[in-house]
Structure 1
Amino acid sequence: MSQQSSRIPIQVLIVEDDVVTRRSLCLAIETEPALALAAAFDSVKPTLDWLENNSADVLLTDLGLPDGSGIEVIRRCVQRYPACDIMVLTMSSDEDNVLACIEAGAAGYVLKEARAFDIVRALLDLHAGCSPISPPIARKVLARLQNKKIQRASPPELENPAAGILTRRETAILDLIARGDSYGDVAKLLSVSVGTVQTHVKNIYGKLSVHSRGEAVYEAQRRGLLQVKSRRQKSQ
């Protein structure tokens, strides 16, 4: 983390209604030189009001808030500040909640049982281009998506046209992002610049009609454009 200390701190917005948890997160962020606390709120309304005239580099939000859902905050943040990285921090590992957050624009999903140090590390990874998701949640979501694909049992002729949406290079980049690689990692593996990777990612977003890494991975998986299961088997 010390390597980032000389750079401009990453501004973090926290939305968490539990006082103890919120204070713990604020302290963890304030003690990390690479991060800075932009603001912290305990409910939806003041957060939405703040977002009207302020922005952050990273949003860390709970889902169950006193006056609504954190998904409202995620959607407004994506609408006003598409470049903001979004992470959900919650007690829930329900697949429906996870998928709803990803569809809304979240790129990270971490359980509250994680240590403050691990949450800080996840925020740094998120801003670096990764999509940190707690392993138990990742397994559930992948299993859910794979089951849905099997249940659809779409004829091959309906699936094949979708496979042509992305170029071979775009598919390779999205596959690497899906397994958690950062843009820098992808650039090194493919021997291209980070700027080239970002250009391909932008094209991927346009072709899939999405606005975030998490949403792109979800949509590609839904359409059968990724081979996550095959990649995991090969790596074993």
Structure 2
Amino acid sequence: MKQALVVEDLAEVRDWLADIAQAVFPGIEVTAVGRVDEALAQAGSGAFDVALVDLGLPDGSGIDVVRTLHRQQPQCLAVVVTIYDDDEHLFPALQAGAFGYLLKDQPREALEAQLLRMASGEPPLSPPIARRVLAFFGQNAAALAPPLPSAQQPAVEEEEKVRLTEQETVVLQRVAKGYTLPEIAQQLGLSRHTIAEHVKHIYRKLDVSSRAEAALEAARRGLVK
């Protein structure tokens, strides 16, 4: 491993991932970017051995980065590193060519151990993801990706378009109550990086840009009084 690409828009998390890559692959040179367009530009101008790619980016999805790397640089092992453990993110990423899929809420030591397996050709998968993949194939599902909505299906209500996950709802409630990110992380037993990721996705889903706006949305949803 000589060249690594890290794609993550949160600067603190980006530095954390870059540090992990350098610890796992000693001597590797890391290029770190925070947007899809920057990652695509790097894919077109440089050659990478491994890429650590977040999915939720300001200008699009990290799946587009994975797909481009898989097509233009088949030697590059693209590993998704995200907070999403659902089928709607997992299987499209694998279809796009992801070599692995890791969850950020694991201890750093676990992430490093899973990435080290790449040296022997083993795809790095967080345990919950490995179980989900096995269960999927155990059910003999017809296709990897969830079916797209058809024209005959009823229109999705606006509230459903901005539906939060259970974890995001809990985080939003605590943000609205004035807790800091480190406090929320301690309360939920998660890392600060994971909470920052949840907040990023909450703000993006709700189209808000401040804690005050998030608190108003939490009140509208009945999460705080």
If the TM-score is normalised by the length of the shorter chain, which range does it land in? Answer: 0.5 to 0.7
Whether contact under 8 Å (2:22, 2:30) holds in the other structure is: no
Cα RMSD after superposing both structures: 2.1
Query: Please, which runs of 5 or more residues in structure 2 have no aligned partner?
Result: 144-225
Question: Would you say 1:80 and 2:69 are equivalent positions?
Answer: no
User: Partners in 1 of 2:43 and 2:10 — Cα distance?
Assistant: 21
Q: Aligned in 2, Cα 1:139/1:83: closer, same or farther, shift over 3 Å?
A: same
Q: 1:78 to 1:150 in 2, by over 3 A?
A: closer
Deviation at 1:138, TM superposition (A): 1.5
Q: Does 1:63 align with 2:63?
A: no
C-alpha contact (below 8 Å) 1:24/1:116 kept by paired residues: no
Amino acid of the structure 2 residue aligned with 1:64: G
Q: In 2, distance between residues paired with 1:121 and 1:100?
A: 25
* Structure 2 counterparts to residues 150-229 of structure 1, below 5 A: none
Structure 2 match to 1:103: 95
Q: TM-score scaled to structure 1, two decimals?
A: 0.55
- Cα shift readout 1:148-168 (whole Å, capped 9, x = no counterpart): 4499xxxxxxxxxxxxxxxxx
CA distance in 1, matches of 2:108, 2:2: 17
With the length of structure 2 as denominator, give the TM-score of the two structures: 0.58
Cα distance per residue 1:171-198 (max 9 Å; x no partner): xxxxxxxxxxxxxxxxxxxxxxxxxxxx
**C-alpha contact (below 8 Å) 2:18/2:30 kept by paired residues:** no
Residue of structure 2 aligned with 1:132, choices 100, 105, 124: 124
CA contact (8 A) 2:101 2:124 kept: yes
Alignment match, 2:166: none
Tell me the equivalent position of 2:12.
20
In 1: Cα distance, 2:85 partner to 2:25 partner: 30
Any gaps of 5 or more consecutive residues in structure 1?
1-8, 152-236
Partner of 1:93: 85
Residue 107 of structure 1 contacts residue 126 of structure 1 at CA under 8 Å; is this kept in 2? no
Distance change in 2, residues 1:32/1:102 (3 Å): closer
1:139 Cα offset (Å): 1.3
Residues 1:18 and 1:150: Cα distance change in structure 2 (over 3 Å): closer
Deviates more, 1:140-149 or 1:57-66: 140-149
Would you tell me which structure has more helix in proportion to its own residues?
Answer: 1
SS of match in other structure, 2:84: coil
Cα separation, 1, equivalents of 2:75 and 2:142: 34
Relative to 1, partners in 2 of residues 1:69 and 1:35: Cα closer, same or farther, differing over 3 Å?
farther
